[in-house]
Structure 1
Amino acid sequence: MLLASAAPDIDHLQIELGDGFQLVTKIVIAVFLFGIALDTRLEDFRAVARRPGVIAAGLAAQYVVMPALTVLLTLVLDVRGSVAIGMILVVCCPAGNLSNILTHRARGDVALSISMTAASNVVAVAVTPVAVAAWCALNPAADALLRDVHLDPWDMVVDVALLIGVPFAAGLLVGWRWPAASAWARRFVEPAALVLLLLIIVGGLAGQLNTLVTYLGAVAVAIVAQNLVSLLVGYGTGRAVRLPEPGVRAMTFELGVRNTGLALVLALGFFDDLGGVAFVAALWGLWDVITGLAVATWWRRRPVPTRPADAAPPGSPPRRPRRSPRGPGAGR
């Protein structure tokens, strides 16, 4: 174990929310995912069809390679069950528009980044709940906790479809029918919803700060290691499918920068009796921003190679012009 057994157990953390808070949380969740959809356009899905092999490789790395490595990491570090669930939950969530912003800053392939984000968010509605249950079952401590909370992955699929699918579809519709209004709204909706979620987390855990401080070091070590592995897997996936340098940078952020806002949403909605899950997601989000900005800034100072080895393979579709990620907000 990373901590002495006499220490307060992070698995016993609870986020105490009354009925009113639970209703507010559900509303905030819907607004948060509505905001994500406002930043997605139908043309992003059409772009997926132009590079199906690359998109498929990215999704396979996200939902198979990264969760498998995360399970192995939780076993090597011997983290507590709720920490393992939080780590697996985060890595099974798609990327948010922060990955698009970082890709643009790093002089990467923004079109690929946006297409990957759109595809992974749609896939996440059905895949994330099943993936979380399946991968957690491979960690004995996490599996035991899931049995205690009686998590049924199929019930979670239905709940996530309603919780994520409906607001996401509504956001796509608004963005399609009223683009001017959605362009204005997306500047505020997603960041504001994320701030409210963080306030709910802080309020729910306020009385248990001693336990959080006790476990901060252990959780931080696991998160730093997982974040590093995620970035390396993203970089390796881009190289494995022989993407040009801008595409490698985009793939690095798509797999290395997670949608921790969505992870917080799911932690509050399904693991409210396991406050350690939300603690992991919140801390992951903070470290995610720090490392993402550091890598993007480092790449920005390095020119994009133009040697023939980085040219697009013969027969590949023409590259779309780069476009900046929509909206100035860095919502996740």
Structure 2
Amino acid sequence: MFLPLLTTPVTALTTDIDHVNIDFSSGAQTVLKIVIATILFGIALDIKTSDFTAVVRRPFPILVGVIAQFLLLPALTLLLTIVLDVRGSIALGMILVACCPPGNVSNILTHRAGGDVALSVSMTAISNLLTIFMLPINFAFWGGLSPNGDDVLRDVDLDPVKTFLEIALVIGLPFVAGVTINRLWPRVAHRVHKVVGPVSFVLLLLIIVLAFIGNWDIFTNYITLVLLAVFIQHLMALALGYGVARGTGLPSRSRKAMTFEVSVRNTGLGLVLVFAYFDGLGGMALVAAWWGLYDILAGLVVAAVWKRRTAEPAEVVAA
């Protein structure tokens, strides 16, 4: 085993993490779904139809981002879980995170880093739209290839159609509603977005924190199993986003946008799926919840350092 920290049981543990379930009531799950739907609604309120037509105007960087998010990140994550030899539920949690879409936090971090916000917003819009169809397929495919996760996945009745409907309800419906309102009543959308976005985001963080508090013994006993895995996976996602942007010749501001679009994941949606289909399976829930907190903190640090080191007049981005 390459990393004993991730695979050697902690002395306080009495149960394998693959057989531990996070206590999350059905009422709390419903609230979580509503909050995630509200977050996506808030994102969509700030998205214009022109953000989708950007695929025609700037197809290359968006295509690069789609390939990096929906193909390269899950594939590299699968390889990482094999190298780290993590437990099955942790491996599935890492793969699920890699299959989740970006959130509007990526737009905020891109702005704070002095990146190409227009590209970031367009990529977020396209990625969330594709996620409705791609997430069930992607997760079933890469999860099924995981040597450790396949056994766990085989014990779960993961119906792709039901998963699609769940994602369509949580992401698709509020996303379409938000874009439609912005198209028909842009002033109303602008005002509502200022309230809905921050409030729903704070509520999500509050739910995650309360879940940690309510399951404190599980958190303290098992968190060491996911700390290093999440750290390496997030670092890999940052490097992947920057690497593909630099390797394909994108300008500096676009590289910043690509970095955050690939590394920022909407793990709240991941948690919804973990509790809906995996009964709050310990490793999956811990990975998704910890990633959601660590992602923001690490992203803010990277954005601040990046902005300070590259403070210069904005580049002209070719259409």
Q: TM-score, normalised by structure 1?
A: 0.85
Contact 1:14/1:205 (8 A) holds in 2: no
Give 1:4's aligned residue: 8
Shift of 1:275: 3.6
What amino acid is aligned across from residue 128 of structure 1 in structure 2?
Answer: L
Asked whether the 8 Å contact 1:125–1:157 carries over to 2, the reply is yes
Aligned mate of 2:31, from 24, 28, 44:
24
RMSD: 2.4
* Aligned mate of 1:110, from 113, 117, 121: 117
Tell me which amino acid in the other structure corresponds to 1:77.
Answer: L
Q: Per the alignment, do residues 275 and 172 of structure 1 end up closer, same or farther by CA in structure 2, a change over 3 Å counting?
A: farther
- Please, which moves more after superposition, 30-39 or 240-249? 30-39
CA contact (8 A) 1:110 1:250 kept: yes
Residue type of the alignment partner of 1:102: L
Could you tell me which runs of 5 or more consecutive residues in structure 1 were left unpaired when the two chains were aligned: 318-332
* Identity across matched positions, percent: 50
Superposed CA deviations along residues 237-295 of structure 1, whole A, max 9, x for unmatched, are 11122111111111111112222233233333333341432221121122111221111
2:62 is aligned with 1:58: no
Q: 1:267 to 1:192 in 2, by over 3 A?
A: farther
CA distance in 1, matches of 2:32, 2:118: 33
Match for 1:9: what amino acid? D
Q: Does 127-136 or 295-304 show the bigger shift?
A: 295-304
Specify which structure has the higher proportion of helix.
2
Change (3 A) 1:305 1:146: same
Structure 1 304/24 Cα, relative in aligned 2: closer, same or farther at 3 Å? closer
Question: How many Å apart are 1:207 and its aligned residue?
Answer: 5.4
Residue 150 in structure 1 maps to residue 154 in structure 2: no
Q: 1:50 to 1:191 in 2, by over 3 A?
A: same
Q: 1:22 to 1:223 in 2, by over 3 A?
A: closer
Tell me the distance in 2 between the aligned counterparts of 1:241 and 1:251.
Answer: 11
Shift of residue 209, structure 1, vs aligned partner: 2.5
Name the CA distance, whole Å, in 2 between partners of 1:274 and 1:69: 23
Map of 1:1-332 to 2, 5 A cutoff?
2-5=6-9, 7=13, 8-201=15-208, 206=213, 208-303=215-310, 317=319
Task: Point out where structure 2 has 5 or more consecutive residues left out of the alignment.
Answer: none
CA shift in 2, pair 1:190/1:12, >3 Å: farther
Deviations 1:130-179 (A, max 9, x none): 11111111112212112212112233123222332111111111222222
Task: Kindly provide the amino acid, as one letter, of the partner of residue 63 in structure 2.
Answer: A
Give the deviation of 1:127 after TM superposition. 0.4
Take 1:104 and 1:22, find their aligned partners in 2: how far apart are those partners? 32
Contact persistence 2:22–2:280 (CA under 8 A): yes
User: In structure 2, do the counterparts of structure 1 residues 303 and 159 end up closer, same or farther at CA, with 3 Å as the change threshold?
Assistant: closer
Could you tell me the TM-score, scaled by structure 2's length?
0.88
